[in-house]
């Protein structure tokens, strides 16, 4: 599986970072997450340009030397984004030219010992390439790239240059080659455990493995500090991916676990199944809901683990269980387990559910049976009429795995209402026992609505 790098956009206010972000994500609202509070003025998006896929982070415009409280907060958050990211795009303004804040940001990057910087001049329309380039050479990051974020000029060349640069190939691509050549890895269930700090992810991993020996941050598996841990359960092979940042219990007693949005997204992207871990004592925060939504949008199979259940009084458990199910109603297809990682309660049931979710995600559905189930569904509840046309669902087949995709053919299918799509999803899920995986339904209509 190809590694999806994180590219952070850095620059002073109003140089066009948000415009470039929107260009990369193809939409102004194509946001993976907007974590207010934790990540002030940092927005995470799923970037794509040509054949290249990446995570893009839009940071707030900042002034490193400013004593203004808002700019100081932005500088702190930008600092964290830079340290987490694989590539830094340092954006400057070609119309305004070089200014003191650009020098301050350049010095800020040098103090962090950042070497993965690409200097990019935005708003360069109508200006001499030689004039602009010579001016910004003073920042000390080599030959700059000229783009227009608003018009799209030069962006393809920039992205291709990043992915084909010696910096990127030497530091990141070699790890992808090792992964792609390791056939055994892809015979295993790739499992990630995600959640906020202090929900008990390290303890859960230790409970699954049966010992504490393997969570060793000091022995990074790759240059990206990701660690893969192999284990077996009930005759099946697994690999726990990207456990970087999880330390031995003795090492976390006096420190706060760091939460990285980037690492969480990358772990989810590389997984077959995700265990979303939540704290029974604190409930579900907006951040938890966003992580859950991203897992759903990415199409990954999911199992929900509500940890620290042993600390909840018997009188409170029913109400808390109802509240978790209410807030995570959009993941109603996922099995939810109330566990104690510390006491190893319900850990085996959790892992059996991981098996079920994986099997459901990669299920193979024969076309005759899929069509038969479709016709049974329409017989029990025909699609409602819209206007003068009545949708006719004729046959269906499987169109993909992980998540399963069911393609339905017929007439006037654009008239099908969302409520009926949900009905079909529930019907297919029940008939094929698709527990723990998202299910996607696609419609293909005949051009002649009267046939």
Indicate the annotated binding residues for GTP. Answer: 11-18, 58-62, 122-125, 195-202, 242-246, 307-310
Tell me the two tokens of residue 136: 């910004």
d(C-alpha 191, C-alpha 266), whole Å: 12
418-432 and 367-380 helices cross at what angle (nearest 10)? 130
Tell me the two tokens of residue 203: 């303890």
Among 5, 11, 91, 78, smallest CA distance to 48 is for 5
- With residues binned 3-state (H G I as helix, E B as strand, rest as coil), the percentages for the chain, rounded to 5, are 40, 20, 40
342-351 own/partner pairs: CB under 8 Å, 24+ apart = 342/200, 342/203, 342/207, 342/308, 342/310, 343/310, 344/207, 345/309, 345/310, 346/309, 347/204, 347/207, 347/208, 350/275, 350/303, 350/305, 351/208, 351/233, 351/234
Residue pair 167/115 in contact (Cβ under 8 Å)? The answer is yes
d(C-alpha 353, C-alpha 233), whole Å: 12
Tell me the two tokens of residue 239: 């690999």
Residue pair 12/63 in contact (Cβ under 8 Å)? The answer is yes
Residues in the chain: 451
Residue pair 416/383 in contact (Cβ under 8 Å)? The answer is yes
Spacing of C-alpha 448 from chain mean position: 40
Cis before 403 (ω within 30): yes
User: 33: exposed, middle or buried (C-beta count within 10 Å: 0-12, 13-18, 19+)?
Assistant: buried
Cβ count near 151 (within 10 Å): 12
Tell me the two tokens of residue 155: 């962006």
Q: Which helix (H) or strand (E) holds 84?
A: helix 69-84
Residues 6+ apart with CB under 8 A from 147: 20, 120, 121, 122, 124, 153, 154, 155, 158
d(C-alpha 164, C-alpha 141), whole Å: 18
d(C-alpha 418, C-alpha 79), whole Å: 43
């Amino acid at each position: 599986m190809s590694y999806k790098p994180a590219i952070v956009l850095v620059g002073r206010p109003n140089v066009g970072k948000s415009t470039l972000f929107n260009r990369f994500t193809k939409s102004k609202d194509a946001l993976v997450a907007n974590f207010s509070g934790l990540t002030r003025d940092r927005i995470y998006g799923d970037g794509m340009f040509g054949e290249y896929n990446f995570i893009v982070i839009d940071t707030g415009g900042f002034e490193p030397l400013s004593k203004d409280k808002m700019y100081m907060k932005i500088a702190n958050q930008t600092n964290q984004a830079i340290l987490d990211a694989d590539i830094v795009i340092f954006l400057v303004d070609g119309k305004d030219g070089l200014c003191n804040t650009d020098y301050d940001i350049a010095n800020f990057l040098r103090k962090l010992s950042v070497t993965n910087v690409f200097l990019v001049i935005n708003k360069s329309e109508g200006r001499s390439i030689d004039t602009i380039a010579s001016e910004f050479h003073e920042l000390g990051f080599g030959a700059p790239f000229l783009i227009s974020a608003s018009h799209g000029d030069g962006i393809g060349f920039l992205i291709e240059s990043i992915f084909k640069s010696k910096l990127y190939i030497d530091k990141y691509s070699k790890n992808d080659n090792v992964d792609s050549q390791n056939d055994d890895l892809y015979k295993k269930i790739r499992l990630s455990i995600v959640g906020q700090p202090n929900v008990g992810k390290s303890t859960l991993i230790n409970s699954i493995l049966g010992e504490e020996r393997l969570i060793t941050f000091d022995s990074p598996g790759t240059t990206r500090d990701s660690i893969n841990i192999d284990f077996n359960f009930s005759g099946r092979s697994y690999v726990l991916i990207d456990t970087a940042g999880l330390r031995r219990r003795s090492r976390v007693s006096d420190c706060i676990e760091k939460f990285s949005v980037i690492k969480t997204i990358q772990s989810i992207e590389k997984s077959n199944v995700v265990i979303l871990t939540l704290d029974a004592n604190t409930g579900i925060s907006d951040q938890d809901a966003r992580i859950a939504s991203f897992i759903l949008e990415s199409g990954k199979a999911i199992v929900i683990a509500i940890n620290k259940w042993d600390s909840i009084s018997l009188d409170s458990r029913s109400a808390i269980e109802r509240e978790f199910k209410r807030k995570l109603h959009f993941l109603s297809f996922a099995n939810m387990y109330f566990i104690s990682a510390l006491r190893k309660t319900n850990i085996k049931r959790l892992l059996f559910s991981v098996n079920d979710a994986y099997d459901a995600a990669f299920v193979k559905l024969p076309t005759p049976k899929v069509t038969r189930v479709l016709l049974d569904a329409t017989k029990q509840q025909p699609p409602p009429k819209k206007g003068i046309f009545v949708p006719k669902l004729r046959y269906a087949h499987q169109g993909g795995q992980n998540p399963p995709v069911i393609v339905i053919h017929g007439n006037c299918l654009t008239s099908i209402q969302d409520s009926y799509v949900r009905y079909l999803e529930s019907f297919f899920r029940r008939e094929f026992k698709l527990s723990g995986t998202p299910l996607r339904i696609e419609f293909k209509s005949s051009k002649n609505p009267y046939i």
